[in-house]
Amino acid sequence: ETVMTQSPVIVSVSPGERATLSCRASQSVRNRLAWYQQKPGQAPRLLMYGASTRATGIPARFSGSGSGTEFTLTITSLQSEDFAIYYCQHYNNWPYTFGQGTKLEIK
């Protein structure tokens, strides 16, 4: 099973600034990686797939990069609605697994 490790667990950033979230896979997942955003009491929402492709309706301030084992989700010009928990998930080999999440909180 491929283990996904996200860092940091919690990150505090001020509105208008940039946030950088990391995800590491225990073995290569090529570019088969997705990012999700989850707000309290809501289901996860797909942000990115293929490591760097934004899902439908996702603003351009969200960007993804990486391949193999190291991935990054960057959010520029943070808006109030961006403060949430973010999960990475690979789909390279079964079972597909999620990271433990990074909580992005307001500084």
Which residues are near another protein by CB under 8 A?
1, 32, 34, 36, 42-46, 49, 55-56, 87, 89, 91, 94-101
Classify residue 96 by its DSSP letter: P
R_g (Cα) of the chain, nearest Å? 13
Residue closer to another protein by CB (options 27, 77) is 27
Q: How far is the CB of 12 from another protein (least distance, A)?
A: 20
Sequence letter at residue 80: S
Residue closer to another protein by CB (options 3, 106) is 3
Residue closer to another protein by CB (options 44, 66) is 44
CA distance 89 to 28: 13
Whether omega for the bond prior to residue 59 falls within 30 degrees of 0, making it cis, is: no
What are the φ and ψ backbone dihedral angles of 10, each rounded to 5 degrees? -130, 135
Q: How far is the CB of 7 from another protein (least distance, A)?
A: 14
Q: How far is the CB of 34 from another protein (least distance, A)?
A: 4
